[in-house]
Structures are given as structure tokens and as C-alpha cells.
């Protein structure tokens, strides 16, 4: 394999005779076009500095899971500019503009004429809202114009933490080790690794009935936490192992919530009482490490509920007066 591809290379992830295959897709005239991507398949686009995994809507779960692992192996095969190189997962219908720019003719830009001349009114109609609704676009921009949520003040944050932890009867913690989930040692609760997956079984007390005749009942919520560098195999392992056991034990009282690193819900974060530490790498690899570690305290959303301590590169240039 060349050390640096001159043009992006497109590979199709497939299964043949029980083995994974990664054949290179033939690109006519060396010009990538959107028509090469079929919904029933999964593709890996190697752009040297970045690798993209495009997942079709009709592709199988097994191929999707295999594509993530194959993309990381392909990423390691050649020498890349590691400081900024990434492996990015792209869902069909939710492609970002950077990914689209790799293909010829992939342009979803809608021409808008704001001059409102007699000619433009005749062409688009007087009602621009009605005209915009008729446009063929795959991008939902409503979230960009949604009002920003008000930050939670300190008093309200403390009250929420107390209420959510008061209702919490027990929290059992598990971590993926190899191909099975093991109980997380008590002294490691609140310490996460970006290359691992964790499961938290939380049992909450709930009141059933009227205020005068309230009865005690319980609800079980399973939080599946996936690190930024962890593969989706952890989620598949959970769905075919622990989730089945929990469903058998708790039935319709069970709720499963999947969380990704730094996208956790307020309620989940509240259980760690501002003591959430996220380290890079895998838990098993860090036990014997004696390297100097550098951390950054973050609290997005202007609320103490979102406080996390994140490990970053040991580099003095990352010191910033806006962070702790």
C-alpha cells in the first residue's frame, strides 16, 4: 500500500463465504459521485488525513459493527498526520458538508433570492414559507433556530441533585472486559476511560397512587455509557447479554438509556456529584502507566450539573485562562 493515496479510496465492507471482505470500489474516471453509495451497503472512504465510515440505512447490523473495527485497522496501516487525523462515522441522510465535499456533484445548497423583485415573486410565489417547505432537502435546520435553553442556576442544580439521588435506591456498576461485563470495583465508580464501555443499573423509588394513598414501587433504568474511542461492539455485547438478563428480571419496569461520552443526561451526571473523571485510552492499559497526566475541568451549559474532568494532552499550549 502507498504511504499516501493521491485520490480518496472507497472500499465496500461485505461478507463473503463467512469472511469479511473489503474490496476497493471502482471509481469511473477517478471521480467520486454520490451514486456510488448504496443504502444496503457500508463503505469506508480513505482520504489519507481522515477516514470515513458511511453506513447505509438498509445495511445489516453485523456489517455495521465490522466496519468500525475495519476502519480503525485501515487507519493504522499507513503513516498519517496523527495530530489531527480522525475516523468519522457518517449515517446515510446525515452527511456533513466536509464528507459531501469529497464527491463531485453533491450539492444541497438551495438558491434563495431575497430581493423580492417582480420576477422572483412570480417564480417562487409571495409566501416564502410555503416555497421553502416544497424544497427537496435532507438537512433539518430547525435545531439551529431553536431557542437556547436557560442555564440551571446553582440553587436549582443542587436541588435536582438531591432529589435524583434521594430517589436512587441502588446503583450497580459494570465495565466491559474482553467479551463480558464485570462488576466495577467500588473505588473506580466515577472514573471512566474513553476506550471502554460501562453499564449502570439504577433502581429508583417511585410513588404510585394519590398523594394520600401513595404506595412504594420501583423503576429500573440501565445507563449504557460508551467512550469516544470505544467501538460499537460493546453495545452489541450488552444487547445480547446483560440487557437480556435485565429484561428477564425487571420486565416492563426496565428502561435502557444509551449515552455517549460528554453527551450524558443531567440525571446521570447527578449521581456522580461533580466527581466524574474521564481518562483517555483503556482501563486495562492505564494500570501500569507512570506517565504525567494533564486534566481539564469543564462545565458546559453554565451549570454545575455538567461538570466533568477530562484528560487532555500534556502540553503547556493547552493552558487556558477560561478553564480549570
Domain count, the chain: 2
Highest-confidence range of 57-61, 64-68, 187-191, 249-253, by mean pLDDT?
Answer: 187-191
Residues 93 and 169 both lie in one domain = no
Determine, yes or no, domain membership for 90.
Answer: yes
pLDDT band, very low/low/confident/very high, at 1 (cuts 50, 70, 90): very low
Of the residues 60, 81, 100, the one at which a domain ends:
100
C-alpha span between 190 and 277 (Å, rounded): 6
Predicted confidence band of residue 262 (pLDDT cuts 50, 70, 90): confident
pTM: 0.55
In a domain, 142, yes or no: no
Q: Are 62 and 27 in contact (CB under 8 A)?
A: no
Average pLDDT over residues 269-288: 87
Count Cβ atoms within 10 A of the Cβ of residue 184 and give its class: 0-12 exposed, 13-18 middle, 19 or more buried: buried
CATH code assigned at 23: 3.40.20.10
Looking at the fold, whether 181 and 312 belong to one and the same domain comes out as: yes
CA-atom Rg of the chain in angstroms: 24
Q: How confident is the model at residue 185 (pLDDT cuts 50, 70, 90)?
A: very high
Q: Which residues contact 62 (CB under 8 A, 6 or more apart)?
A: 15
Residues 304 and 167 reside in one and the same domain: yes
pLDDT of residue 2: 46
Sign of CA dihedral 300, 302, 305, 307: positive
Residue 75 DSSP class = H
> Quick check: is 109 in a domain?
no
For residue 83, pLDDT over 60 is answered with yes
Quick check: is 259 in a domain?
Answer: yes
Domain that holds residue 241: 154-318
Amino acid at each position: 500500500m502507498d504511504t499516501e493515496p493521491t485520490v480518496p479510496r472507497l472500499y465496500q465492507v461485505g461478507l463473503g463465504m463467512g469472511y469479511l471482505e473489503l474490496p476497493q470500489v471502482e471509481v469511473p474516471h477517478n471521480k467520486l459521485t454520490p451514486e456510488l453509495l448504496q443504502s444496503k451497503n457500508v463503505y469506508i472512504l480513505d482520504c489519507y488525513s481522515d477516514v470515513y465510515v458511511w453506513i447505509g440505512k438498509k445495511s445489516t447490523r453485523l456489517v455495521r459493527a465490522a466496519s468500525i473495527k475495519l476502519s480503525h485497522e485501515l487507519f493504522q496501516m499507513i503513516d498519517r498526520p496523527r495530530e489531527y487525523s480522525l475516523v468519522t462515522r457518517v449515517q446515510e441522510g446525515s452527511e456533513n458538508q466536509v464528507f459531501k465535499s469529497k464527491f463531485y456533484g453533491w450539492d444541497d445548497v438551495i438558491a434563495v433570492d431575497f430581493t423580492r423583485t417582480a420576477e422572483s415573486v412570480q417564480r417562487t410565489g409571495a409566501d416564502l414559507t410555503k416555497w421553502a417547505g416544497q424544497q427537496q432537502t435532507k438537512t433539518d435546520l430547525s435545531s439551529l433556530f431553536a431557542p437556547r435553553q436557560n442555564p440551571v442556576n446553582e440553587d436549582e442544580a443542587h436541588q435536582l441533585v438531591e432529589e435524583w439521588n434521594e430517589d436512587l435506591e441502588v446503583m450497580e456498576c459494570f465495565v466491559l472486559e474482553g467479551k463480558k461485563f464485570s462488576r466495577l470495583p467500588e473505588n473506580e465508580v466515577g472514573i471512566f476511560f474513553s476506550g471502554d464501555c460501562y453499564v449502570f443499573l439504577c433502581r429508583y423509588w417511585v410513588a404510585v397512587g394519590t398523594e394520600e394513598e401513595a404506595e412504594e414501587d420501583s423503576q429500573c433504568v440501565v445507563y449504557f455509557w460508551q467512550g469516544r474511542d470505544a467501538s460499537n461492539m460493546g453495545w452489541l455485547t450488552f444487547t445480547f447479554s446483560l440487557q437480556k438478563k435485565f429484561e428477564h428480571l425487571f420486565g416492563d419496569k426496565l428502561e435502557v438509556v444509551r449515552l455517549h461520552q460528554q453527551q450524558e443526561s443531567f440525571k446521570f451526571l447527578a449521581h456522580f456529584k461533580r466527581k466524574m473523571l474521564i481518562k483517555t485510552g483503556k482501563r486495562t492499559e492505564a494500570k501500569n502507566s507512570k506517565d504525567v497526566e494533564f486534566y481539564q475541568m469543564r462545565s458546559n451549559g453554565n451549570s454545575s450539573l455538567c461538570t466533568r474532568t477530562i484528560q487532555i494532552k500534556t502540553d503547556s499550549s493547552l493552558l487556558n485562562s477560561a478553564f480549570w
